[in-house]
Amino acid sequence: MNHGDSKLCAPTDARATLDDRDRLPCEFPGQAARPEYAMSSSTRIIVDRSLRHIFRIVSFFSVIALAAMVIFVFAQGLGPFFFPTAPSIAVVLENIPSARINGSLYENHRRAIPLDPEASYLTIEFPLSGTPTRISLPLYRNVEDPGRSIEFPPELQDYLSSPEHLSYTLSFPGSLPGLEPRIHINIPEPPYSFRSFITGREWRPVYRKMYGIFPMIIATLLSALGAVLVGAPVALLSCVLIAEFLPPRLSAAVTGAIELLAGIPSVVYGFFGLMIVVPGIQRLFGSASGSSIAAAIAILSLMILPTIVTIGVTALRSVPATLREASLALGATKMQTAWCVVCTSAKSGLVTGVVLGTARALGETMAVILVAGNSPQIPVSLVSSVRTLTATIALEMGYSAGRHNEMLFSIGIILFLLIFLLNGVIMRLRGKMHTEVSS
């Protein structure tokens, strides 16, 4: 098989589709004059169509992969807003070999024992240093404040502790140190309100079970905005310089260097930031630490440069030379031509570059973790330590469990939405510009 040759008899008419080529394989001049073209037309049709099916199947798989990812993130991330963490209160016995809970006997049971969701009391009977003991706790259906759905009588208060929100532990004195009998009562967390998730200002996921990501949304948007405000003008000016003013050889060298910049792994940017930018900012502002939103903006603006420059230069170069020539012929200077003619015609491409740069700044994780300080607070100054949405996922995924883990997927959903929004913006801007150009 000689695939390379099949393109030789492709139609010159750009409007012809792949199907036309299949049907009209040999109606092009020059076909007969090529004796080296060995494949018969019917074989070639089979090869072409097979290739087309391969393309379809392969792209089908990538669509499936994308869909699977979206479904996975949404399925994991939406759970906390609709379901409680467990259907009912659960009891865990520690160092209690045998106990009777609401009438049922549990021997050497270490797993959580779920109660009947309708139960109005919790009765635990167990031997405590030899003497049979009975604890009876009334249960309430308290939707507003689940912490109050169980009542501990005053005589148990001495044994009671609450290691974390909605968890109660009764520890009794035991015969051996470290082997004290303990009863843990875990009340399920109710569905979390989406509003408190978005607008909540406290991210205290472990003990207090507060999952407010407002500070992270603000930090993400501010650091991306800052990076674009600093990086985009620099990048756009570089585009114009490279595409319009530099001699070809130098322009190629600069483009190559910038493309190299795009290939540097983000952790290297982060390392550079940690070693150079962070101490620099600390010295400049005299703050306690240089890990701050300013450092994040500095690194991000550097990182989005190659994205904007690469796309921008391509856009500027694709402006037809006839436009430039016409402008110069009309007496405009080279500078006027670059600004008023070339940049105006390439506006859509330049805007695409900036929006993609913004997307990169929003999504960047590794470099930001290293320089931003990662405190989930709303920044009050340039030297505030901040944490972005992506950084939260990366920092806590390995350490989280249960709802905390699901909430990280919920953050993933928010990131998805941000990117959808950004893509919407890019499409609208493009549509608008196309109509402007054509009208």
Partner 1 sequence: MKIERTVALVAAMALLVPALSFAGGRSESGGPTQYTIEVTGSTSVSPLMESFAETYSAAHPHVSINVSGTGSGDGITGANTGVAELGMSSRSLRPTELGFGLDVLTVAIDAIAVIVHPDNPVSGLSRDQVRQIYTGEITNWNQVGGPDRPIAVVSREPGSGTRGAFEEVVDFVDRLVSGAIEFDGTGGVRASVAGNLNAIGYISLGSITHEVKALDIEGVAATGANVTSGAYTIARPFLVLYRQEKTASETDRFLEWMVSPEAQAIVERNYVRIN
Q: Is residue 127 within a helix (H) or strand (E), and if so which, with residue range? A: strand 121-128
Question: x/- string (CB under 8 A) for partner 1, residues 35-54?
Answer: -----------x--xxxxxx
Segment 284 to 313, residues that bind partner 1, using CB under 8 A: 287-291
Q: Does 344 bind partner 1 (CB under 8 A)?
A: no
Q: What are phi and psi of 385, to 5 degrees?
A: -75, 130
Task: Look at residue 326 and give its three-state secondary structure.
Answer: helix
Type and span of the H or E element at 114:
strand 113-114
Residue from 206, 260, 330, 419 binding partner 1 (CB under 8 A): 206
Alpha-carbon distances of 119 from 45, 102, 135, 168, rounded to whole Å? 72, 9, 15, 18
Considering beta carbons, is residue 395 or 422 the nearer one to partner 1? Answer: 395
Least CB distance to partner 1 at residue 421 (A) = 28
Which of 369, 411, 415, 426 is the binder for partner 1 (CB under 8 A)? 369
Residue number, 58 or 229, with CB nearest to partner 1: 58
Token pair for residue 233? 């003008």
Q: How far is the CB of 375 from partner 1 (least distance, A)?
A: 5
**Residue 90 is a binding residue for partner 1 (CB under 8 A):** yes
Query: Does the footprint of partner 1 cover residue 177 (CB under 8 A)?
Result: no
Residue 19 contacts partner 1 per CB under 8 A:
no
CA angle, residues 407, 408, 413, in degrees to nearest 5? 90
Q: In the bound complex, what is the minimum distance in angstroms from residue 63's beta carbon to partner 1?
A: 14
Burial grade of 22 (CB within 10 A; 0-12, 13-18, 19 or more):
middle
Residue selected from 88, 102, 184, 241 as contacting partner 1 according to rule CB under 8 A = 184
- The CA distance from 376 to 396, in Å, is 12
Taking the complex as a whole, the smallest distance from the CB of residue 119 to partner 1 amounts, in Å, to: 17
CB 281, min distance to partner 1, A:
11
Tell me: does residue 57 bind partner 1 (CB under 8 A): yes
Closest to partner 1 by CB, 5 or 396: 396
Q: Which helix (H) or strand (E) holds 136?
A: strand 131-138
Member of 87, 265, 320, 402 binding partner 1 (CB under 8 A): 402
Residue 69 binds partner 1 (CB under 8 A): no
Q: How far apart are CA 262 and CA 81, in angstroms?
A: 39
Write a three-state SS string for 358-399.
Answer: HHHHHHCCHHHHHHHECCCCCCCCCCCCECCHHHHHHHHHHH
Contacts with partner 1 by CB under 8 A: the residue count is 60
Closest CA to 232 of 182, 173, 305, 183: 305
CB neighbour list of residue 235: distance below 8 Å, 6 or more residues apart: 304, 305, 308, 309, 312, 353, 354, 357
Residue among 26 and 275 whose Cβ is closer to partner 1: 275
Per CB under 8 A, does 251 bind partner 1?
Answer: no
Q: How many CA atoms lie within 13 A of 36 on its CB side?
A: 7
**Among 113, 110, 90, 91, CA closest to 183:** 91
Cα–Cα dist 368/386, whole Å: 9
Distances from the Cα of 135 to the Cα of 99, 114, 123, 152, angstroms: 11, 17, 6, 10
Q: Which of residues 110-149 bind partner 1 (CB under 8 A)?
A: 110-112
Integer CA distances (angstroms), 80 to 204, 208, 404, in order: 16, 16, 9
Contacting range for partner 1; rule: CB under 8 A; set: 294-302, 340-348, 377-385, 421-429: 377-385
Q: How far is the CB of 206 from partner 1 (least distance, A)?
A: 5
Choose which of 395, 414, 422, 429 interacts with partner 1 (CB under 8 A): 395
Pick from 239, 278, 418, 426 the residue near partner 1 by CB under 8 A.
278
Q: Tell me, what amino acid is at 107? A: E
Residue 171 binds partner 1 (CB under 8 A) = no
- Decide whether 161 or 336 has the Cβ nearer to partner 1: 161
What's the chain's length in residues? 439
Return the number of the residue (148 or 334) whose C-beta is nearest partner 1: 148
Based on CB atoms, which residue is closest to partner 1, 199 or 336? 199
Find the part of the chain contacting partner 1 (CB under 8 A) among 3-11, 148-156, 221-229, 375-383.
Answer: 375-383
Tokens coding 181: 């009998």
| Binding-site member from 186, 220, 327, 352 for partner 1 (CB under 8 A) | 186
Binding residues for partner 1, rule: CB under 8 A, are 46, 49-54, 56-58, 61, 90, 92, 94, 109-112, 163-164, 167, 169, 184, 186, 203-208, 274-275, 278-279, 282, 287-291, 369, 373-377, 384-385, 387, 394-402, 404-405
